[in-house]
Structure 1
């Protein structure tokens, strides 16, 4: 069985947040506290330790007391660059990733994905959400992977491919569907932030 001691959590705060006017998303207030604090408090009980991937506001992020890792590939090359640096610093058998701007992420994220990974001998499991209309949406930045995937990911990135789902296809991977669509709601505009605060208050 995979327990929280076997898992390192990686919070992805490395993006540009262009739709938020370029503000650093993890630091935008949500119920009066920076968004990343919600992600940390939900992830913390599910993992043994936390890493933060960020490319700016390093000092602010380091105030939380966790290692802050910058992408080693230039130009904001998306979540896979964050995965890569997270895998390099991961000292547990598994890495669980989550973005900094989904404050309502599931409290059973690790547990459900670990069970799926173990039962089916997979290398990586990612989340999907079931919307109210029954549609299933992939949420690929929420995933649990074996920490020995570094070489696979680096060779994929060296080909210049940044498409997250294409890398997943090269692995033994599968998704886990979470019923609550709100769990993965993220914040791309000030309006979305206001709407999410109402839902979660």
Structure 2
């Protein structure tokens, strides 16, 4: 178990592709999508988990603190900012609530490469595809993150530059997750149906 890092789950809001439903709460496997994400996260972080959501009342039965965005702007960067702001550790590992196949081994691999002076560390695979919602961030990056959010500049993966940003290459990622299933997103009921069937066939 990792004690010097907090696991942060971005619960987001309602999904248009899900008919306005909250993805984190849709049925998945033997529970809900959030349950599937929480299992590997609790294996790595134990009780050091935060759920970021503007609808705290929806997540009370999961048993973890729910924190709200600090900045009054939508977007993933705002959720990451909230995680860093509320966490009691310098480092957080962020994952989206719609990534039910995230593997503990991959989380540990990414965190093992999170060293100063890095402020953000992203898995990188394919043609320079970065995974900002399956990544590690350092509290010292809060000012950089906040200024870019308020100025409306760029995606999360391009906010940090130079020595601030690190990448974990695909060859290492596949040592922890050969098929890179950790990065699969559930974006629609059809995605959930197919993933649920795969889950039953290959638990």
Output the TM-score relative to the length of structure 1. Answer: 0.86
Unaligned 5+ segments in structure 1 are none
> Counterpart of 1:50?
49
Would you say 1:36 and 2:37 are equivalent positions? no
In terms of mean alpha carbon deviation, does 90-99 or 65-74 score higher? 65-74
Q: Distance in 2 between matches of 1:27 and 1:171?
A: 38
Tell me, what secondary structure is at the counterpart of 2:92?
A: strand
> Counterpart of 1:161?
153
- C-alpha distance after superposition, 1:88-142 (max 9, x if no partner): 1111121000011111102113321122223x74221112345xxxx56322211
Q: 2:9 touches 2:95 (CA, 8 Å); kept in 1?
A: yes
Structure 1's 103 and 45: CA in aligned 2 closer, same or farther, altered over 3 A? same
Tell me, what secondary structure is at the counterpart of 1:71?
A: coil
Q: Distance in 1 between matches of 2:143 and 2:191?
A: 37
- C-alpha distance after superposition, 1:161-187 (max 9, x if no partner): 252122133662122232323221111
Q: 1:14 touches 1:70 (CA, 8 Å); kept in 2?
A: no
Q: 1:19 touches 1:189 (CA, 8 Å); kept in 2?
A: yes
- C-alpha distance after superposition, 1:47-81 (max 9, x if no partner): 2500001123x223121121111223335x21111
Instruction: Give the superposed CA RMSD.
Output: 2.0
Q: Distance in 2 between matches of 1:24 and 1:31?
A: 16
Q: 1:15 touches 1:78 (CA, 8 Å); kept in 2?
A: no
Correspondent of 1:99 among 96, 100, 107: 96
Structure 1's 138 and 92: CA in aligned 2 closer, same or farther, altered over 3 A? same
More helix by share: 2
Q: Structure 1: which 4+ aligned runs deviate by more than 6 Å?
A: none
> Counterpart of 2:189?
190
Q: Distance in 2 between matches of 1:40 and 1:17?
A: 20
| Correspondences of 1:34-183 after superposition (within 5 Å) | 34-48=32-46, 49-56=48-55, 58-74=56-72, 77-118=74-115, 121-129=117-125, 137-161=129-153, 163-169=155-161, 172-176=164-168, 177=170, 178-179=173-174, 180-183=179-182
Tell me, what secondary structure is at the counterpart of 2:88?
A: coil
Q: Distance in 1 between matches of 2:152 and 2:111?
A: 30
Aligned residues: 192
